[in-house]
């Protein structure tokens, strides 16, 4: 008798695949402020549940806030948060006030949601154009996205971009790094499985990997509802 495939087990939402909340240092999001407020970076925190280091910021009114640190940010640095037009490194600013071509990260999808996009180590988006009703940015995936002009962003590049430079050296180091984030590791190749355990298991070579959008979870692997197949002309 075969086993449920990983996508099915993840879909159940069992504790096996949930990231342990006790490993995260703090809730990482922007706080709401009236007008413009200054904040001081009092610590750079290593969070085992994330790749990017966190900056602990104390605002003028005494509240503390954790945000992904920007490259070049340091303890004792002062930043501004609010509706202003100072696009200096580390400042938190409405995207409508960011000049075109500037790198940004920790981007709000809707105003005051605290920051949702481009938060991983070494990532950044670029502001392309402004409109009366939207601002267009280019995400790290090269896709273009329109967001609300009042959505807040952080100027710069998320720190920790060289995280992949240092080798793990030992399998145990990789194991504990993945365990801290509750990632599935090690991962078995699907073609190395038995036919009863995965669609790609057994002698699956030569079998199309495209699958219907309405396929059941056990068969919904591969290119789901692919718009096209085959090699593009001129892209050999």
Domains of the chain: 6-15+182-224 (4.10.950.10), 22-155 (2.30.30.30)
Burial 110-128 (b: 16+ CB within 10 A, else e): eeeebbebbbebbbbbebe
Predicted TM-score (pTM) of the model is 0.77
Kindly state the DSSP code that residue 28 receives in the 8-state scheme. B
**Distance separating the N- and C-terminal Cα atoms of the chain:** 41
157-184 pLDDT per residue, tens: 999 988 888 899 999 999 988 887 778 8
81-134 pLDDT per residue, tens: 988 888 899 999 999 999 999 999 999 999 999 999 999 999 999 999 999 899
pLDDT category at 18 given cuts 50, 70, 90 is confident
């Amino acid at each position: 008798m075969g086993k449920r495939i990983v996508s099915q087990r993840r879909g159940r939402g069992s504790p096996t695949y949930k990231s342990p909340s006790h490993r995260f240092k703090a809730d990482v999001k922007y706080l709401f402020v009236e007008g413009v407020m200054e904040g001081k970076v009092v610590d750079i925190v290593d969070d085992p549940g994330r790749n990017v280091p966190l900056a602990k910021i104390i605002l003028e009114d005494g509240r503390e806030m954790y945000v992904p640190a920007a490259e070049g940010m340091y303890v004792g640095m002062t930043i501004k948060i609010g509706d202003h037009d100072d696009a200096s490194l580390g400042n938190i600013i409405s995207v409508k006030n960011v000049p075109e071509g500037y790198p940004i990260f920790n981007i709000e999808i809707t105003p005051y949601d605290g920051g949702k996009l481009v938060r991983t180590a070494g990532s950044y988006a670029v502001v392309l154009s402004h409109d009366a009703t939207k601002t267009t940015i280019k995400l790290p995936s090269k896709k273009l996205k329109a967001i609300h002009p009042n959505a807040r962003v952080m100027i710069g590049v998320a720190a920790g971009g060289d995280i992949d430079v240092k080798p793990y050296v030992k399998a145990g180091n990789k194991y504990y790094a993945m365990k801290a984030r509750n990632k599935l590791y090690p991962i078995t190749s699907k073609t190395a499985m038995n036919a009863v355990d995965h669609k790609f298991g057994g002698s699956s070579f030569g079998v199309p990997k495209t699958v219907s959008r309405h396929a059941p979870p056990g068969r919904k692997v591969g290119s789901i509802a692919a718009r096209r197949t085959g090699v593009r002309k001129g892209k050999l």
